[in-house]
Amino acid sequence: MFPVARAAQSLVARGIQHTAVRQAHRKHEPNFHDKYGTMVLLGGAAVFSAVWGYVFTQLNIEWGFSPVRRITPREWRE
């Protein structure tokens, strides 16, 4: 049984070494994330900031500095 296990182990090790050598000689091709990852991240951050900046500037909430730290609503117009 021992020689069979040793032979199987050497076959597995040889297969792993063969795969590693094959992948080492292959040129790395950039994928979508390598090409556009940073630009997508920056674009998403810009859109996120623009949308929330618009929301916060258009809400017209008057911030009251009360001890309870509540938001005071605006007066109702009729």
Give me 78's structure tokens.
């009729």
pLDDT (0 to 100) of residue 65: 59
Asked if 67 and 77 count as a contact pair (C-beta separation under 8 A), the reply is: no
pLDDT of 19 > 70? The answer is yes
Q: Which domains does the chain have, with CATH numbers?
A: 1-59 (4.10.51)
Q: What is the pLDDT of residues 21-65, one digit of tens each?
A: 776 666 778 888 888 999 999 999 999 999 999 888 887 766 655
Alpha-carbon gap, residue 58 to 74, rounded angstroms: 13
Give me 49's structure tokens.
């900031």
* DSSP label of 72: E
